[in-house]
Structure 1
Amino acid sequence: MANVSLRHVSKTFKSGVTAVRDCTVEANDGEFLVVAGPSGCGKSTLLRIIAGLETPDEGEIYIADTMVNLLSPQERDVAMVLPNHALYPELSVRENMAFSLKMHRIPEEEVERHVQETAEILKMETLLDRKPSTLTTSQQQLVALARAMVRGRKVLLLDEPFANLDRKLRAQMWKELRALHKRLGLTVLYATENQEEAMALGNRLVVMKEGFVQQVGTPEELYHSPVNQFVAGFLGDPPMNAINVKVGDGGADYTFAFGKNTVRMPKEWDKLGALQEYLGKNVILGIRPQDVHDDPALVETLPNGMVDAEVEVMEPVGREFYLYLTCSGHSVTASVDADAMRQSGEQIKVAFDMEKIYLFDGDTEHTIWR
């Protein structure tokens, strides 16, 4: 296996679009590193640079501590899987897997051994003599993964490989891929714009936006301690609520006013005094849907976070409901139990758990308080 290191890597295309900007990040030997972000953030370009399919304008790429900038894709000992399977339709699964090995003039017996061993690892022996057209979408993607693995590469690059699968099949493939990674100890870099997928798969996450790396850390670190509003909003489903509030001085409390609503937070919580410079200014208050409560008994215990709201829609999702609200002109989502059904247009009181709020600078989006 091998570590992968990118040092100050940048890439601008002839069109003038800068896809990757001064990227420095490392995947440790045997790590499952997920590169996550919205479409166009640069994650696919980053993987293609590692694979040698794109040449960086600046920076260095190391694989197993060897700089590979000048090496061809074939010399880098990496394998890459794309969302579209690109299988040869006229060839069997066995022949698809063996194709690249034969192109490198590997002896027939060794080719068959590699194919058989990989098929056993992926539990797909029964598929070997079938044509791609007879396979399901998930089976075709499994073949694409097997074809990438068959040469025993040091690094496996996966660019949204399960994007075309439905939710149930994706979850199944996540489970199988994690088990495979644990068994083989592969170094894996996995690109996705699906935050649920990122949280489920990654030992660590690299969150990108507009070519820049925003934050690197474990899923738990990024979820609970995001460095900025973008990271906070990207991780979590439904996404974090963001409310533009004005910071005030309420004696022993800071106040956060929006429209006719005001919520409060004890100043003693702000041990570093970070909010003092924001008095009289607007900031962004972030609160996750599961920390917005509508149960009357619970709301009464959270007077500092109590606000008036109007129900827009109540959506059932499994064992819970998403309650879409309007609070002083701001859209707010609450994740609530199904104990009390709400009607569209109903006026209710909800409460923010003020111990769970985030505060972000309105201009820079950097985290002020958590």
Structure 2
Amino acid sequence: MTAVNLPDGRLTLSGSGGGYAEPGAAFTGRVAYAAAHVVADPAAENVPGAPAALDWDATLAFRRHLWSHGFGVAEAMDTAQRGMGLDWPAARELIRRSAREAAAAGGTVVAGVATDQLPAGPATLDEIRKAYHEQLADVQEAGAGPVLMCSRHLAAAARSAGDYLDVYGRLLDEADAPVVLHWLGPAFDPLLAGYWGADDPARAADTVLELIAAHPGRVDGVKLSLLDEGFEVALRRRLPAGVRMYTGDDFNYPALIRGDDHGHSEALLGVFAAIAPPAAAALRALDAGDTAAYDRILAPTLPLARHLFGTPTFYYKTGVVFLAWLAGHQEHFTMVGGLQSGRSPAHLGRLLRLADAAGLLPDAGLAAHRARAFFTTAGVAQP
């Protein structure tokens, strides 16, 4: 039985998922990282404010799923609830385990470097520098590529663009290899408003470009998550030769990755973890020069992505985990920090409709069984 009663009516799942192959080689035309979620231990006290407790087997199995499709894994980023339930001790262990798993599986992994071992609240610039340096050393020791994430502490403490240039400049000087700069906009985290020393993104971009120019060869790329396609294209065209643009735009990724006559964006996307099979098929088509197939495959994923990342955007992680559960990648819908309550049943019902339309549910019977259980607890009587 594949019928489910949703808050807005009945849905009979199509059973169209699961038709994508799982080639293991990396893509040739684009660099593509999927930012992966974490699987909570459902028997632990994963309530708001409690230390994060993970189901390590299921968490690492999901990463193997992503590597099997040819993606690199972006580890311990905001998709993994960094700053929203995943504390630094758990993140550090996650990075170490994921890097070991990547080495065994022949996959690639980059990992977030931040300052979240500091307590919430004010911190001095010196404390922020030390926190960043500590995490950078941990990530490099684990064997992952560093992604320098935005810091809530730095956003609160910095008084000018010069403070950002100083903190990041020292990090770039200490890094063993080129790093990725992560620019996460306030839609994903309101506490990062005014990052890089300006509320105006154009002025902030000047600071990012100044930082890159002052440290040639030290920046692999910029991961941009501002959900502004035009701004990303404009900044991409200003980047020095050899510095990549990694799109983090979960609203406009098909066009940004396809690119134009002046270039294209690589990818470091949370949505890729949710749509890995069709996204991999689309990137294979792009590798083969078949842009029509690329567009056709990704077209039904875009309405899902825009709903998944809808306002308030920072709760998109709830939808990612809901889809992973329905698709059979984990046995429960429990999240660290109790974040499974971050989206309403109405939102998740619409997400289920879009996932079915996009062919993301490989076992319609399993997805329907689990969805009926969930919506029953939400007060929606089932067939």
TM-score (norm 1): 0.35
Please state which structure has a larger fraction of its residues in helix: 2
Whose strand fraction is larger, Structure 1's or Structure 2's? 1
Structure with larger Rg: 1
